[in-house]
Structure formats: C-alpha cells, structure tokens
Amino acid sequence: MKKFGIIALLLLLMGGNAYAQIRDWRVHRRGMMHQSVYNTGELGRAYNAGGTVQSSSPSMEWPPFSSLILDRVNYPGQHCSFGSGIWIAGTRPGGRTYAFCGATSNTNGEPVPVIGVYSSPLELQKVENFPVLSNGELNPAFDPDEAEEIIIARWDTPVGIRVKRTSRAWSYPQYNNFIIYEYEFENVTNDTITDLFITFANTFAPSMFGYQRNYGDWSESNFRGQPPAGLGDHFARFDLKRWMSYNHERDGLPDPDLFEQWSQPGDRGGLNSPQAVGIMVLHYDYDHLSTSDQTAQVFLLPADSAGMWDQNNKAKQPFLLRYENGNLPAESKTATWLDPTLRRKTGIWQGVEDSTRFADQFDPDLWEYWKGRTRGSTNLSWWQPVSRAYGFYPYILPPGEIMRFSVAELIGYGPGGAGDSVYTDLGGTVRAGVDAGFYFSPVASWYYTLRYNFLGSKDFIGTDYLRTHPLPWYVTPGVVSIRDVADRAIEVYTGRALVKYDSLQYKPEEESPTGRYNNIPIPVPAPAIRITDTKAAANEIIWGPQIESFDTPRLHAPFSHYEVWRAPHPLGPWKVLATVLPGDPEYFSDGEYTVLDPESNLGDNVAYAVISVDELGGMSGMTNLVTHETQAPPAENLGKVYVIPNPLLVTSGLSGSDPGGEIGDRIQFVGLTKRCTIRIFSYTGQLIQTIEHQQETYGNPWYQLSINNQIVASGVYYFVVEDLDSGAVSDGKFVIIH
C-alpha cells in the first residue's frame, strides 16, 4: 500500500536516523512472572508464531527459571507469549499512518523488523527499588509507595506519537504474578492527530514447555487443529467485569510421564500448561475521545453505531476486541482493523437478545454499562485464540497533548477458582457454539471438570487436579486463578481495599491515569545470600542479619525467623533445609548465619533460597533464588583423577538437574587442578573427546558426547589428564552401560 511506502520518509522527517538506533531490552525478574521489555514497544520478544525463546529474554515466563534438559531434550521454559506490543494509527494532513510496535509479522507469521520501520528508540532504563541491597544492607532509599522494579522505555513512531511506557513489578506474595504498564501517548507534531487508534496487541500461548513436552512443538499454527492432533485445546476468553482478556488450556496438559512425581508437595505440579494468561485494562483516556462529528469512521450498518455514543456523544469503549491466529501482516490484515474508512471489525452489544445467557449473568445496572460497547470477535473459540487486538478509538489529540492508559499483564494458576464455575464469561466454546448464540460459558478451573454445550470433539473443560493434588510451590494460597491475580492488580493500582469483581463492574474510565501503589502490606524482605564451596564439597549458605531490623509503616508483621529452602532444580521439589531463629547460636557466628547443606554431592546443581517469615506466617518473595554447582576448590597438584559414577548405568538415572546437559548422561572427572586437559579414548585407542578444564573447580562434567556430537555407545573407555602448568599426567578407565 502507498501509505506504508512513506514510512521511511516519515521517520527521517521526525529527526534522527532510526536505523542507527539500538534495539535493547530490560527484564522484569522481581516477581514470579519474568518479562522482557523493549525500547521499541515490543514485549517478550520479536513476534514469532512459533520457534523458541532465548534464556536472556523471557516472554511471560511463569514460573521463572523453568528451562531444563530432560531425556536429552532442551526445554527453554514455561514462556506464555509469542511476543506482544502496541499498534497505533492516526490521521494527519498528509494521510493516515500506522505504527505496529510489536505483534506484527509477514504473511507467513514470521517476525519482521520493528526498529527503523515503526519504532525509533529514545530511552530504556531499569530502576531497582529493592528494600535490600546486593551486599545485604538495607536500602535507605527504599520507597514503600513505589514498585520494587521499574522499567522505563520511550520511542517515537511515524504516526507522530511519542510513547513512554513505565512498567512495574513486585516480589510480594499475592502481588507477584502481574506487571502493570502505564503508557503516555504524546503528540510531538504540529498537527492535530484525528481518528487516533490505540491498540494493545498481545499474544498468549500457555505454555511453551507444556506444548513442547506433550506435542514436541510450540507453534501457533498447531493451535487450529492442525497436526499434531490435540493442539486445539486452547481457549480465548474475556471477563467483562474485570475488562480482562485471557487464554487457558482445556485441562492444563497433564505431563505424560512424570505427572505423579511432579505433583508431590513442594514440586512444580503435574500440569504442564496450568497458566491462564491475560491482559486487563486499568485505565483508558476518556477526555480525548472524539465526538461523533469529529471522526471519519464509516458505519456500514446503522445498528452498529446505535447506542455506542454515551451521554457526552463519545464512543463507548473498548472499540475493538479482535481475536485472531498468529498471522499478523500489517498491510493485508491488521491495518484494516484500524482504518476509519472501513467497517469496524467488532460490533456492539445492542440488547439482551445478543446472547441467550446475557440477561442471566448481569443485573440491569451492569447491562446498562456494557450496552453499546464492543461485543468482541465472533470467533471466541479454540480456533484462533493466540493474538488479540484490544483497541480504543476514536481519539483526537492536539499538538503537545498526552493521553494516558494503564494495563496489566497477568498469569494465574488456571482461569478460575474452586467455586468460580457459577460465573460465566465470553468464550470457552468452539465456533459452533458462538454461531448458535452461546457467547458465554461457565468459568473453568483445575478444581472441577465441567461439561456444557459446544466444547467440540471433547465434551469437557477443566480438571479435578486440585481436588487430589496440592498447589505447586510457586502459587500463593488464596491467589490462585487469574481472576484472583486481576483483583490484586486492581487493588495495587487503585489504592483501594481488595474487592472481588465477580459481580461488581470495574470501570477503568473512572480510575486515575496513574497508579497509587500505596496500600498493600509489605513483607519482611528476603536477605541477600551467597553460596560457598568447601573442601568437603558441601555447600554453605551464608547471609547477614540486616533484614531483622527492617521496618516500614505498612509492614505486614514483625520478623520471626528464616527458612532455608533447597531443590534440585528451581522448579522443585523444594524442601526446608533448616529453620533459623534470630541469633540462633547453631548457625550465627561473627555477624553472619551459615547453614551447611548435608546433602551436597560433588557436581550437583542445587537451587537455594532463604525466605523471611513474619510473626503472622507471612513470607517474603523468593528474591534470592540462586542455582549453584556443588564443587570443591581445585587440587593443588594433579594426583589420582576419579570418574563418578563408575560404572555409569544410564538406565538407573540420577536425581537433580544440570543446565549443561542431560543429568542421566553426566560423568564427573574429579581431582582436577585449575588448568588441565582431559582426553577420552575408546577401547581401541580412538580419541573420543577433548575437554579443556580451566576453572576454579575440583571436577568437570562430560555428557557422553563425542567429537561428532553423538552419544557414545556402551563400553570401556580410557582417559588421560594432563596438568597444563606442571605437565603431570593421570590416567584411568571407566565403564558406560546403556
């Protein structure tokens, strides 16, 4: 299209060479949801309807630190987004211009560049407001009325809109599963921008690990019933009372092999895709909405515009609730949603006859609120649930003025709680149900299996999992479902007391354009910890007592004691290694606490955390989680080198995890000096592998991979170790039995 051909010119006229800008990101890691925030408008990653996720840039990862290698398969983790962003469209004297700052693709659903096309980065900074500094001291500058972690990004667009996004995250249990984003959209031109369209473009796909583990793939194309079979169990839904658009799995994808093991107390849970993932609107700009005579929007059907104008002759919001597949090319599809010369893509609620269930769900007051607002896509189903456009329009923005919006990204353990099936929301059926007028369906949960009409070839949704199994360690009791998380996000943003929005209507147009963040209880923070090696290869967990004097006006309760947690992997299973009282002489000496891990094994990778517990049983966040490879200092002189285990019985397996390779394949060479070379030979003398060891450790792992990157066969193998400083040599043999 011609209008897209002028984008490069517009960028140059804006000043600054966009192509010389650096695309960069910072990561929210303070809470349980880890998310990458880019200075181009993107969230999570560059949009891609499949593929993988880099460990350095999580894309709505929940729970965190979830990557692992299992049965020689690399699982990058429980990421829940293909990549999201902001779409903006506006009309100036030169015509209509578009900016797709994330969540845009080519016609094959593959990523396209955003920087230099739709975004010109200006600023990116991360602000840490942690109550405890990295050295263990209390932070004298800690502000209890601000988030613990703040990321600020600014970028320009060819529309003439400069965007500032301030995102906030907390570690506090009950408040650690959402991120709040405050947006400022500023007109930096000399023109009044009309028919301005602001769209939050999100893609939700819970979860990468679940689909890869169960089906070997994490790809949007497979969510539409295409091979492999079973990937159509992915539903898009909308909670009108909370203004929340979210996705969830049919049954959470129980693990095919390790369900019962992972379902034990302290572990990750047996559901591989338990996440309900969504976005909710906390505030939208009302003042800059156009009146009916200030927009060029064409309504081809009079009924579509009937009732959409409020008492001030402004369009009721949201204007667009569009659900689609992962194919989001700007020119052929997405731009048409934001074009005022075309019919709007989602119509309005006109009367209770729009849905056979609508009148049963809302009382008259709530119905009056939603009448005339957009009804949403008619394909609220399992067929195309990955991407959604949550749009606000039409706006008029004079030069120099700013519009403000606030939204939250949220993740919960399932769509509903134990009793939430009495409520309904939009979605939850296959397309046949929508065609029959069944827009609303009971809210599913992991407490009860539901059966109702229009569920497709599988006549159930939800699961009884939580009736027979405990919550995983990363879910705080009382804040389980995405609905629970949403209510906490509203509490934090508004500064009001917690309210359950199951029958009460949240009204974002009436809320402040900025959050208050000044009312939630603050837990005693976790201390800063360090893990040290000993000559006996037993890990020591060490921390100072500084947090025992932590105080703030909203302190949940005074400090009581510490709990030292240990797990073979950050996903679990976690157990309490020690409970430590203040000044306990068993652990406290010379101004520090020291706990020795009696279960340390040379070469094991172990996750540790120290939790602060208050007098009411409230806990800190797990902000000091660290994974440590158990080691001893290197040998001063090369002596006898041992192989552990020997023989290696692959079928017997090893416990724990290893980020370097499959734990069951690992062989440890121990007794090493700081600098040495390990050469491994077959029984016939063929060189199998060479390992250069140059590190401050006593051992070094090998994962049975040959020079050709192939798993070696069963048999007898020989090794020779040469110290690079002294020239000393040690040798031996070991056996592998597959």
Question: Residue 600's domain is classified under what CATH number?
Answer: 2.60.40.10
What's the confidence (pLDDT) of residue 600?
84
For 306, phi then psi, to 5°, come to: -65, 125
| Cis before 470? omega within 30 | no
Residue 455's pLDDT band (boundaries 50, 70, 90)? confident
Q: Identify whether residues 620 and 716 lie together within a single domain.
A: no
Question: Which is nearest to 678 in space by CA: 91, 284, 686, 669?
Answer: 669
> Binning pLDDT at 50, 70 and 90, where does residue 438 land?
confident
Domain count, the chain: 3
Final residue before a domain boundary, out of 573, 603, 629:
629
**294 in the same domain as 432:** yes
Non-local (6+) Cβ contacts of 47 within 8 A are: 82, 83, 84, 85, 102, 103, 104, 105, 111, 203, 328
Tell me what pLDDT residue 384 has. 61
In a domain, residue 520? The reply is: no
DSSP-derived 3-state class of residue 733: strand
**Which of 587, 602, 629 is the last residue before a domain boundary?**
629
Tell me: pLDDT of 10 over 50: no
Q: Are residue 57 and residue 203 in the same domain, yes or no?
A: yes
Q: How far is the C-alpha of 119 from the C-alpha of 157, rounded, in Å?
A: 5
Task: With CA atoms as reference, report the closest residue to 89 among 225, 199, 243.
Answer: 199
Domain co-membership, 71 together with 99: yes
Give the whole-angstrom CA distance, residue 101 versus residue 166. Answer: 16
Note whether 167 and 293 are same-domain residues.
yes
The confidence score (pLDDT) of residue 388 equals 87
> What are the tens digits of pLDDT across the range 249-269?
999 999 999 999 999 999 999
Residues 101 and 227 in one domain: yes
- Output the pTM of the full model: 0.91
Is the bond preceding residue 521 a cis peptide, omega within 30 degrees? no
d(CA 250, CA 455): 10
Task: State the DSSP H helix or E strand holding residue 208, giving kind and residue range, or none if neither.
Answer: helix 208-215
Same domain, 550 and 612: yes
E strand segments, 682-728 = 687-694, 699-702, 715-723
Q: What is the CATH number of the domain that holds 686?
A: 2.60.40.4070
Q: Is residue 522 part of a domain?
A: no
In a domain, 518, yes or no: no
3-state SS string over 25-71? EEEECCCCCEEEEECCCCECCCCCCCCCCCCCCCCCECCCCCCEEEC
pLDDT of residue 495: 97
pLDDT of residue 3: 36
Please indicate, yes or no, whether residues 493 and 562 belong to a single structural domain of this protein.
Answer: no
261 to each of 66, 98, 274, 510, 573, how far by Cα in Å? Answer: 17, 50, 16, 48, 9
In a domain, 170, yes or no: yes
Q: 355 vs 351, 360, 437, CA distance in Å?
A: 8, 10, 6
54 or 122, higher pLDDT: 122
**Which two structure tokens, joined as six digits, stand for 650?**
């692959």
In a domain? residue 523: no
Q: Residue for token digits 């005339």?
A: 372
Provide the pLDDT confidence category of residue 16 given band limits of 50, 70 and 90. very low
Q: What is the pLDDT of residue 4?
A: 34
Kindly tell me the sign of the dihedral angle through the C-alpha atoms of 504, 509, 515, 518.
negative
Q: Which amino acid, 304?
A: D
Return the pLDDT at 631: 86
Distance CA(730)–CA(721), nearest Å, equals: 5
- 508 pLDDT band (50/70/90 cuts)? very high
Whether residue 634 is contained in a domain is answered as no
- Which pLDDT belongs to residue 363? 60
Q: What pLDDT does residue 430 have?
A: 81
Q: How confident is the model at residue 11, as a pLDDT?
A: 37
pLDDT value at position 19? 37
Helix (H) or strand (E) segment spanning residue 193: strand 193-203
Type of residue at 394: P
pLDDT band at 137 (very low <50, low <70, confident <90, very high): very high
- CA pair distance 470, 446, nearest whole angstrom: 11
**Same domain, residue pair 397 and 455:** yes
Is the pLDDT at 718 greater than 90? The verdict is yes
Split at pLDDT 50, 70, 90, the class of 15 is very low
Same structural domain, 454 and 542? no
325 versus 733: the higher-pLDDT residue is 733
State residue 303's pLDDT score. 65
Domain ranges, residue 551: 529-629
The answer to whether the peptide bond before residue 302 is cis (omega within 30 degrees of 0) is no
Query: Which strand (E) or helix (H) includes residue 96?
Result: strand 95-101
Q: What residues does 200 pair with on adjacent strands? A: 86, 390
Same domain, 308 and 332: yes
342-356, 385-399, 435-449, 623-637: least confidently modelled range: 342-356
Output the pLDDT for position 348: 83
Residue 516 lies in a domain: no
Q: Which two tokens stand for residue 121?
A: 């980065």
Q: What is the pLDDT of residue 12?
A: 35
Q: Are residues 237 and 88 located together in one domain of the fold? A: yes
Mean pLDDT (the chain) is 89
Closest to 274 measured CA to CA, from 169, 383, 177? 177
61 within 8 A of 34, measured Cβ to Cβ: yes
Q: Residue 285 in contact with residue 513, Cβ under 8 Å?
A: yes
Bigger pLDDT: 188 vs 631: 188
Q: Is residue 494, in this structure, part of any structural domain at all?
A: yes
Q: Is the pLDDT of residue 544 over 80?
A: yes
- Select from 327, 91, 70 the least CA-distant residue to 219: 327
On the question of pLDDT at 640 being above 80, the answer is yes
**Of the candidates 629, 663, 681, which is a domain's last residue?**
629
Q: What average pLDDT does this structure show over 649-664?
A: 71
pLDDT tops 80 at residue 357? no
Average pLDDT for residues 116-138, to the nearest whole number? 96
